[in-house]
Chains A and B, each alone.
Chain A
Amino acid sequence: MALDDSKKPRVFKVVGTRPDRPDGIDKVTGRARFGADMVAPGMLTGRILRSPHAHARIKRIDTSKAEALAGVKAVVTRADFGTVPDHVAVIMENCMAGEKALYDGHAIAAVAAISPAVARQALRLIEVDYEVLPHVTDVDEAMKPDAPVLHEGRQEETVPPGMSQNVIARAEFGHGDIEAGLAKADRVLERTYRTAATHQGYIEPHACLATMGADGQGDLWVCTQGHYMVRNTCAAILGLEQGQLRVTASEIGGGFGGKTTVFLEPVALMLARKSGRPVKMVMSRSEVLRATGPTASTSIDVKIGMTKEGRITAGFAELRYQGGAWPGSPVNMGAMSGFAPYDLENVKTVGWDVVTNRPKAAAYRAPGAPMAAFAIESAIDELARGFGLDPLAVRLMNAADKGTKSSYGPTYPAIGLKATLEAAKAHPHWTAPLGKHQGRGVACGFWFNFGGDTCVSLNITPDGTVTVSEGNPDIGGSRASMTMMAAEELGIPYDQVRTVIADTGSLGQNEVTHGSRVTFAVGLATIEAARSAKREMCRRAAKIWGIDEEAVDWEDGAARPAGPNAGKFPPMTIKEIAAVASKTGGPIAGHHEVTAQGAGVSFATHMADVEVDPETGATKILRYTVFQDAGKAVHPSYVEGQFQGGAAQGIGWALNEEYIYGEDGILQNAGFLDYRIPVASDLPMIDTVILEIPNPGHPYGVRGVGETSIVPPLAAVANAVSAAAGVRMVQLPMSPPRVLAAIQAGG
Chain B
Amino acid sequence: MVKVLLWGSLADLAGGAREVAVEATTLRELLDGLARDHPGLRPELSRGVSVSIDGRIYNDSWFTPITPDSEVVLLKRLQGG
Q: A156 and B43 in contact (CB under 8 A), knowing A597-B56, A597-B64?
A: yes
Residues of A within 8 A of B71 (CB): 410-411
Task: Pick the contact of A158: B9, B55, B60, B80 (CB < 8 A).
Answer: B9
CA distance A697 to B9 in the complex (A): 30
**Scoring B residues 7 to 44 as 1 if CB is less than 8 Å from chain A, else 0, what string do you get?**
11110110000100000000000000000000000011
Q: A598 and B80 in contact (CB under 8 A), knowing A172-B9, A409-B75?
A: no
Residues of A within 8 A of B73 (CB): 408-410
Q: Are A409 and B52 in contact (CB under 8 A)?
A: yes
Q: Are A260 and B64 in contact (CB under 8 A)?
A: no
**Scoring A residues 324 to 365 as 1 if CB is less than 8 Å from chain B, else 0, what string do you get?**
000000101100100000000000101000000000001111
The range of chain B's interface size is 20 to 34
Q: Are B80 and A172 in contact (CB under 8 A)?
A: no
CA distance A333 to B13 in the complex (A): 20
Name the prevailing secondary structure of the B interface residues: mixed
CA distance A156 to B47 in the complex (A): 11
Task: Pick the contact of A363: B8, B64, B81 (CB < 8 A).
Answer: B81
Q: Are B81 and A157 in contact (CB under 8 A)?
A: no
B:43-81 near A, CB below 8 Å: 43-44, 52, 55-61, 64, 71, 73-76, 78-81
CB of A602, distance to nearest CB on chain B (Å): 11
Q: List 13 interface pairs A-B (beta carbons < 8 Å), by A numbering.
A: A157-B43, A171-B76, A365-B81, A409-B7, A409-B73, A410-B52, A410-B71, A410-B73, A449-B80, A450-B59, A450-B80, A515-B79, A515-B80
Task: Pick the contact of A448: B7, B10, B80 (CB < 8 A).
Answer: B80
Residues of A within 8 A of B5 (CB): 409
Residues of B within 8 A of A516 (CB): 80
Task: Pick the contact of A171: B9, B57, B64 (CB < 8 A).
Answer: B9
Q: Are B81 and A336 in contact (CB under 8 A)?
A: no
In chain A, what residue has the closest Cβ to B62? A595
Q: A517 and B81 in contact (CB under 8 A), knowing A410-B52, A410-B73, A412-B55?
A: no
CA distance A695 to B9 in the complex (A): 31
CB of A709, distance to nearest CB on chain B (Å): 12
Is the CB of A413 closer than 8 A to any CB of chain B?
yes
Is the CB of A707 closer than 8 A to any CB of chain B?
yes
In chain B, what residue has the closest Cβ to A599? B57
Task: Pick the contact of B8: A173, A364, A447, A449 (CB < 8 A).
Answer: A173
Residues of A within 8 A of B10 (CB): 171
A:669-698 near B, CB below 8 Å: 697
Q: A257 and B80 in contact (CB under 8 A), knowing A173-B7, A348-B8, A598-B56?
A: yes
A-B pairs, top 4 by smallest CB distance, nearest first, are A257-B81, A515-B80, A172-B8, A363-B81
Q: A363 and B80 in contact (CB under 8 A), knowing A157-B13, A171-B7, A409-B5?
A: yes
Q: A330 and B79 in contact (CB under 8 A), knowing A409-B5, A410-B71?
A: yes
Interface core residue of A362, A366, A450, A452 (most chain B CB under 10 Å): A450
CA distance A348 to B8 in the complex (A): 9
Residues of B within 8 A of A266 (CB): none
Q: A707 and B81 in contact (CB under 8 A), knowing A157-B13, A336-B76?
A: yes
A:256-291 near B, CB below 8 Å: 256-258, 260
Q: A448 and B81 in contact (CB under 8 A), knowing A409-B73, A410-B73, A597-B64?
A: no
A:52-101 near B, CB below 8 Å: none
CB of B3, distance to nearest CB on chain A (Å): 12
Task: Pick the contact of B75: A348, A364, A408, A597 (CB < 8 A).
Answer: A408
CA distance A367 to B80 in the complex (A): 6
Q: A595 and B60 in contact (CB under 8 A), knowing A157-B43, A173-B7, A348-B8?
A: yes
CA distance A597 to B56 in the complex (A): 7
**Scoring A residues 594 to 614 as 1 if CB is less than 8 Å from chain B, else 0, what string do you get?**
010111000000000000000
CB of A531, distance to nearest CB on chain B (Å): 21
Residues of A within 8 A of B9 (CB): 158, 170-172
CA distance A415 to B33 in the complex (A): 32
Given A172-B9, A333-B79, A348-B8: 9 more A-B contacts, CB < 8 Å: A157-B43, A171-B7, A175-B18, A330-B79, A408-B75, A411-B55, A413-B55, A449-B80, A707-B81
Task: Pick the contact of B78: A156, A350, A515 (CB < 8 A).
Answer: A515
Q: A597 and B7 in contact (CB under 8 A), knowing A411-B55, A448-B78, A516-B80?
A: no
Residues of B within 8 A of A171 (CB): 7-10, 76
CA distance A365 to B59 in the complex (A): 20
Interface core residue of A332, A412, A413, A517 (most chain B CB under 10 Å): A332
Q: Are A597 and B61 in contact (CB under 8 A)?
A: yes
In chain B, what residue has the closest Cβ to A159? B9
CA distance A145 to B55 in the complex (A): 40
CB of A223, distance to nearest CB on chain B (Å): 16
Residues of B within 8 A of A172 (CB): 7-9, 12
Q: Are B81 and A367 in contact (CB under 8 A)?
A: yes
Q: Are B76 and A332 in contact (CB under 8 A)?
A: yes
CA distance A599 to B58 in the complex (A): 10
Residues of B within 8 A of A599 (CB): 57
CA distance A515 to B8 in the complex (A): 24
In chain A, what residue has the closest Cβ to B6? A409
Q: Are B57 and A450 in contact (CB under 8 A)?
A: yes
CB of A519, distance to nearest CB on chain B (Å): 13
CB of B58, distance to nearest CB on chain A (Å): 6
In chain B, what residue has the closest Cβ to A403? B55
Is the CB of A174 closer than 8 A to any CB of chain B?
yes
Q: Are A367 and B79 in contact (CB under 8 A)?
A: yes
Residues of A within 8 A of B43 (CB): 156-157
Q: Are A174 and B8 in contact (CB under 8 A)?
A: yes
CB of B14, distance to nearest CB on chain A (Å): 12
In chain A, what residue has the closest Cβ to B5? A409
CA distance A599 to B55 in the complex (A): 10
A:432-449 near B, CB below 8 Å: 447-449
